[in-house]
C-alpha cells in the first residue's frame, strides 16, 4: 500500500470515530467548512483521545501524518504503517462496540 493510501485509511478511521463518538462540535465544524480540513482532523484526534481517555490516539495519528508528509526509509515506514493499522483497528473496535 502506498503512503497516501495509508494516510487515507487513518483519516477515514478518525472520521468514523468522530461520528461514532458523537463529537458534535467537530461535526459542526465540518458542516460549516464543508470539508474535513487538516485542522479539523487534528481537533478531532484530540477530542477522540480525550473522550477515550487514550493519548495513544494522538501518537497513532502522528504516524499517519509522518507517512504522508515525510520521506521515510522503508524500515521506518513499516513501523509507522503498523501504527496507522492500529488506529484503523481502534476505529473498527469502536464501531463493533456500537453495533453490539
Range(s) of the domain holding residue 61:
3-94
Tens digit of pLDDT for each residue in 56-100? 999 999 999 999 888 888 899 899 999 999 999 999 999 988 765
Domain count, the chain: 1
What CATH number has the domain bearing residue 89? 1.20.120.330
The structure's pTM equals 0.91
Query: Residue 30: helix, strand or coil by DSSP?
Result: helix
Tens digit of pLDDT for each residue in 8-22? 999 999 999 999 999
100, part of any domain: no
**Distance between CA atoms of residues 8 and 14, nearest Å:** 10
List b or e across 7-31, with b for residues whose CB sees 16 or more CB atoms inside 10 angstroms: bebbbebbbbbbeebebeebeebbe
**Distance between CA atoms of residues 10 and 87, nearest Å:** 7
90, part of any domain: yes
99, part of any domain: no
Amino acid at each position: 500500500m502506498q503512503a497516501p493510501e495509508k494516510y487515507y485509511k487513518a483519516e477515514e478511521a478518525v472520521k468514523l470515530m468522530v461520528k461514532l463518538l458523537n463529537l458534535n462540535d467537530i461535526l459542526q465544524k465540518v458542516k460549516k467548512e464543508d470539508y474535513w480540513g487538516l485542522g479539523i482532523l487534528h481537533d478531532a484526534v484530540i477530542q477522540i483521545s480525550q473522550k477515550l481517555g487514550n493519548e495513544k490516539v494522538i501518537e497513532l495519528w502522528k504516524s499517519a501524518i509522518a507517512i504522508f508528509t515525510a520521506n521515510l526509509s522503508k524500515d521506518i515506514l513499516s513501523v509507522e504503517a503498523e501504527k496507522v493499522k492500529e488506529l484503523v483497528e481502534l476505529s473498527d473496535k469502536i464501531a463493533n462496540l456500537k453495533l453490539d
